[in-house]
Amino acid sequence: MTPSEALEAFRRAASEIRTRLHQRHTFDGPNWAAYERFQELEASTFDDLVARPLGLAAGQYGGPLPVRGLSLRPAEPNTSAMINRAPGTISGYWDHPVRTLPNSTILEFLSFFEWDQLAVHDYSLVLVTVARSPDAPEIEGHSAIVKFSSVSWERAA
């Protein structure tokens, strides 16, 4: 199984689980407890569908550090991205003046991203860290949000 196949299986499964959970728990307003339970289920699903089949260490998804063993590259020249203003943070302002990722960029996977944590998740966005970018070194160490369809997945060396 390739990393792309494993992550696509995870996207489909986690989206289905999240949609069903969302439908059950939104009638009385925001439910943070249900969301926190879902995060545990999501991490377990990642371990079962991605980490174990690819031989990666379990328990990495959704944490503050990148998932070891996976890397990403822009799938097209000058892939659009929202890059965080401050290096080393995953919150705040996503308005760095660099708006595209050169092909030479190597990204590290943190998690899938949704702007509204309590809404239905479609897993179309990926939260990454810019590990290396020889053609735009000013973005190294910054977090970025990219479309799942705009990156190619690889096993990290």
- Residue at token pair 């899938």: 112
- Residues 122, 28: Cα–Cα separation, whole Å: 22
Which helix or strand (DSSP H or E) is residue 35 part of?
Answer: helix 32-46
- Residues 80, 35: Cα–Cα separation, whole Å: 29
What is the mean pLDDT for each group of 10 consecutive residues in the chain (157 residues)?
Answer: 95 88 62 81 95 94 91 93 94 93 96 85 93 96 96 88
Q: In the numeric block, which tokens belong to residue 134?
A: 């020889």
**pLDDT confidence of residue 145:** 97
**pLDDT confidence of residue 35:** 79
**DSSP bridge pairs for 109:** 128
Amino acid at 67: V
**pLDDT confidence of residue 93:** 93
pTM of the model: 0.91
- Per-state percent for the chain, helix, strand, coil, to nearest 5: 35, 25, 40
Domain count, the chain: 1
Domain range for residue 35?
3-155
Q: Are 19 and 131 in contact (CB under 8 A)?
A: no
> Torsion over CA of 15, 85, 98 and 129, rounded to 10 degrees?
-50
**pLDDT confidence of residue 71:** 93
**pLDDT confidence of residue 30:** 67
